[in-house]
Homo-oligomer: A and B are copies of this chain.
């Protein structure tokens, strides 16, 4: 047996030495990081986007300013082409919003914010009893008898014990997305939902919701965590508690906006397209620094770094800044339609929409053989904190490009802090760490460089 063990060891050693990349790639890749960390181009762009332009909900004047600005900045990069793609978007506006607990002669103000897409209340508000539920089963059990004419308060916390905060977000997310739809069926007059966050502060977190098949559209708003806990406590003492809810939000006419697109034409295979992108729109409460200003400027920086390094990609590399990810994925859908109409061959799409945390790795939406092939580049990228190469989802925007001929990849920064700020007032430039943002941009560039140079394709 001894000889066979020795042979096995040798074979495996040889195998592990047969890297699918040339010697010296480690040094080349480090250059992406040197430029990114010294110049901090993405961080400078993000400063402008957040602090000079500000929040960018689809249909807003700010969103249009962001479009013009991004187009202008991409033009400065001396790309082969930069253009705008028309996108039809909704235009929802927030207005005044208040929620007051009325208890005997006392009144308590709650931190509240309308969910995106909610209808408003009448101008003088809705005044109704509150009924708390901690699951959709609760809702079913209570039924029309106990719900009709009332405000349903969904108080379903995110599970703190999952290591992935995104997983907990998914678990608790239904109250936001479907809470109004389901409560409406039992005759509720409005819903309040616990904010989807793990940080017990009192900034409410908005996000999109759907009325689905509900016949009556009822107003829906999120409460800050402290307000949700306060309301829960109050309800222990006084089951008949009433709330006065005023939401001034409403939908205006749909309008025209744009995806911003820029590309470097491939030197050898221009018909094979690699997309890198984030979404340019944001919610209106903060300034969309992590969601998804970060992903937008990181994607822009990928092409910036290619130009700076004078790397001429074999394939066409295109940055797409999608419009209205938050509220209907209109930009992503328009881009996918354009792709289909023009029979564009996307070999790879990479999205950054997981915030600006320190790098962790990539989630790859492809078959296992393809995931394993990409994982072979890990030795080159793990020195930069990119250890995780998992098979999984990618991103909401590029997911519209899903096909077996396209490798979809989501950049995955650390997400422990992500939901602290997500869709809230606190998603502002101040929470961004320049180095973490830049490490992400350089890592995305480095991965795409490797996949271009070694002509990675989906393995069938």
Interface residues of A (CB under 8 A from B): 4-5, 7-8, 11-12, 33-34, 37-38, 160-161, 163, 165, 198-199, 357-358, 360, 382-385, 387-388, 414, 416-417, 420, 433-436, 439
Contacts and interface: CB of A to CB of B under 8 A. Distances in A.
Contacts of A38: 160-161
Given A12-B8, A435-B416, A439-B416, A163 B360 contact: no
Contact of A163 (B4, B160, B161, B385): B385
Contacts of A199: 434
A103 to B, nearest CB: 31
A357 B358 contact: yes
A416 B198 CA distance: 23
A358 B435 contact: no
Nearest to A36: B161
Contacts of A5: 11
Nearest to A435: B416
25 contacts: A4-B7, A4-B8, A4-B11, A7-B8, A8-B11, A12-B12, A33-B163, A34-B161, A38-B160, A38-B161, A160-B435, A163-B385, A165-B435, A198-B435, A357-B358, A358-B358, A358-B414, A382-B387, A385-B414, A387-B387, A414-B414, A416-B433, A416-B436, A416-B439, A417-B433
A280 to B, nearest CB: 26
Contacts of A383: 163
Given A7-B8, A416-B439, A37 B433 contact: no
A161 B35 CA distance: 8
A186 B420 CA distance: 53
Contacts of A420: 433
Given A4-B11, A11-B4, A439-B416, A161 B37 contact: yes
Contacts of A358: 357-358, 414, 416
Nearest to A436: B416
Nearest 4 interchain pairs by C-beta: A8-B8, A387-B387, A34-B161, A416-B435
Nearest to A1: B11
Nearest to A420: B433
A452 to B, nearest CB: 23
A442 to B, nearest CB: 10
A163 B33 CA distance: 8
Nearest to A7: B4
Contacts of A160: 37-38, 435
Which of A11, A12, A38 neighbours the largest number of chain B CB atoms within 10 Å of its CB? Answer: A11
Contacts of A434: 199
Contacts of A435: 160, 165, 198, 416-417
Contacts of A385: 163, 360, 414
A39 to B, nearest CB: 9
A33 B416 contact: no
Contacts of A11: 4-5, 8
A174 B304 CA distance: 35
A17 to B, nearest CB: 15
Contacts of A384: 163
A120 B358 CA distance: 41
Nearest to A384: B163
A310 B4 CA distance: 46
A69 B196 CA distance: 35
